[in-house]
Structure formats: structure tokens, C-alpha cells
Amino acid sequence: MHIAVLNGPNLNLLGEREPELYGRATLAEIETRTRERAQALGVNVSWTQTNHEGELVDAIQALKGRADGAVINAAAFTHTSLAVRDALVAVRVPFVEVHLSNIFAREPERRRSVLADVAVGVVTGFGAESYRLGLEGLVGYLASRHDR
């Protein structure tokens, strides 16, 4: 099973960026933890971060036929990007939306996700753990789908 983890803008600054909201773990540390969990689950993980909307769209389009599922933290594009949503719908790769912070407890403009209704599920507010939880949820979902 291959899972792609996709990260949007400014997540490369984790660790130093608003730690009261996002915690002190760097994206590299989150990647290491997520890969450890993936290995224990016997799944393959690829890891991408980009600050550019078009690159995120390209990365999503590239999943077609290559990934069984995706864990995505689209960061600020979550709230704005119909291009990211359209790409996810087009490739039809099951995905879990994750956020470090609880977007529903934040400013009104962050309480809306243009991705959530086409996601398998959403994990929001568990800090770096959101990635592990998202991966576990997605792998469980894909495994039960294969069993059916």
C-alpha cells in the first residue's frame, strides 16, 4: 500500500512558526514519526511539501495510479483553493485532511474547508499527532475497503 503525504504552504516553517498554535515539532520530525508509524503498519509513504498552489495541484495529479491514498495538510489552501479541491476530485484518490490546530476553534475564515466534504475524514487539533491519526484512519479505511 502506498500513501502520499502532501503538505502545503508555510509548513516548512513548523517548529519556529507560531509554536503556541502549531507546536515545536519541525516538519522533518513529523515526517520521521509518520514514517515510523507507516513502517509498523507495513505501508509505503512519500512525503512532499510545497509553498505553491500549482505545485500542490501537480503533486495531486501525479497520484493517479501511483498512490492508494493520501494524507493532506493543505494549510491555508484548505480554506481557499478550488484548484486543490478539483484536483483531489479528479484523481479520485481517497484522502484524509489533517491539521495541527483545530481549525473549527480558530478565526471564522479558517473554520471552512473546501476539501472536507470530499475527504474520507478530517483530523484537526491534535498537533503533530494529527498526521499519525490521519494515517491510521486512512490505512484502516483502505484495508476495510479491500476486504469487502
* Catalytic (active-site) positions: 22, 99
Q: State the helix-helix crossing angle for 129-147 and 27-41, rounded to 10 degrees.
A: 30
Q: Which one, 67 or 113, has the nearer CB to ligand DQA?
A: 113
Note whether 115 binds ligand DQA by CB under 6 A. Answer: no
- Measured from the CB of residue 72, what is the shortest distance to ligand DQA in angstroms? 10
Given 3, 75, 93, 139, the residue binding ligand DQA (CB under 6 A) = 75
* Under 8 Å between Cβ of 48 and 11: no
Note whether 103 binds ligand DQA by CB under 6 A. Answer: yes
Note whether 31 binds ligand DQA by CB under 6 A. Answer: no
- Measured from the CB of residue 65, what is the shortest distance to ligand DQA in angstroms? 27
Cα-based distances in Å from 147 to 57, 138, 141: 31, 14, 10
Rounded CA gap, 8 and 48, in Å?
9
Rounded CA gap, 105 and 2, in Å?
32
Q: Which one, 113 or 139, has the nearer CB to ligand DQA?
A: 113
Q: Which one, 67 or 75, has the nearer CB to ligand DQA?
A: 75
Rounded CA gap, 95 and 109, in Å?
22
**Sites of contact with ligand DQA (CB under 6 A):** 10, 73, 75-76, 78, 99-101, 103, 110
